[in-house]
Amino acid sequence: MGKKIIDLSLTVEDNMPAHKLFQSPIYIPALTHETTKSFNLGVEGDIMTFQTNYIGMLDHVGTHVDAFRHVNPKGAPVDKMPLDMFMGKAVTFDLQHIKDLEDITAKHMEEAEKKSGVKVNGHIVLLCTGFHKRNANDRKQIVWGNPGLTVEATQWLLDRGSKVHGVEGPSTDKPSDNIFAQHRFCRDNGVTHYEWLVNLEETVGKGEYEFIGLPIKFKDGSGSPVRAVAIINN
């Protein structure tokens, strides 16, 4: 059976939106094909030029995963977390009826599980609210409008063996308060999550699939950008 790869990742670019507490990245050309002509590389008639880019950013930019260290000073950094946490069987919950700044409840999770046709049992669960699609071109709303995953909804996942989940937008907590209840629950229960996933609409209704979102091996990293993908059987 053929497989389809769906890219769930944002493109990293200069000054892209970031979480309300974080700086946007710097991503600019450092050396260009034009400037490296003066290096006189290659041979006569076949000059070699090259390009490199400068990257200056936090480890929570774009599509990324949180390390346990992010909100727990005693938690494992991203380079010490087991790689199998960042891949495995997954399902997407269709929550496109959830509005900006709305709470995602355990009842929403129960209804979405039934609709998905997959009984959660240790799955990575990705939540499609349509938030990114609605607000991709609104720089303010994309930072200040995301729905929030409640503690009870996260407990619902944990009760079913799911210790990794993912959302659209910059955070699992709503930006309208500074309580960070969901992050604190994850801190206390060994749960982590992906933030700022995109294209989740393409995985809705696909049943169980394989998810991969490997982090960069940053020493003592509090998180990492990832290239997140869904691998779906056609």
Q: What is the pLDDT of residues 176-188, one digit of tens each?
A: 999 999 999 999 9
The C-alpha R_g of the chain, in whole angstroms, comes to 19
89 and 141 together in one domain? yes
Distance CA 148, CA 108 (A): 12
pLDDT in tens, 30-60: 999 999 999 999 999 999 999 999 999 999 9
104 and 171 together in one domain? yes
Residue 43 falls within a domain, yes or no? Answer: yes
- Which pLDDT value is given to residue 220? 98
Count: domains in the chain: 2
Q: Which long-range contacts (CB under 8 A, 24 or more apart) does 133-139 make?
A: 133/201, 134/100, 135/100, 139/17
Residue 9 falls within a domain, yes or no? Answer: no
- What is the enclosing helix (H) or strand (E) of 56? strand 52-56
52 and 72 together in one domain? no
Last residue of a domain, one of 14, 34, 56: 56
92 and 42 together in one domain? no
Residue 223 and residue 67 in contact, taking contact as beta carbons nearer than 8 Å: yes
150 and 48 together in one domain? no
101 and 51 together in one domain? no
82 and 160 together in one domain? yes
Range of the domain at 31: 26-56
Q: Whole-model pTM?
A: 0.95
- Which pLDDT value is given to residue 1? 62
Residue 84 falls within a domain, yes or no? Answer: yes
Chain mean pLDDT for the chain: 97
Residue 195 and residue 172 in contact, taking contact as beta carbons nearer than 8 Å: yes
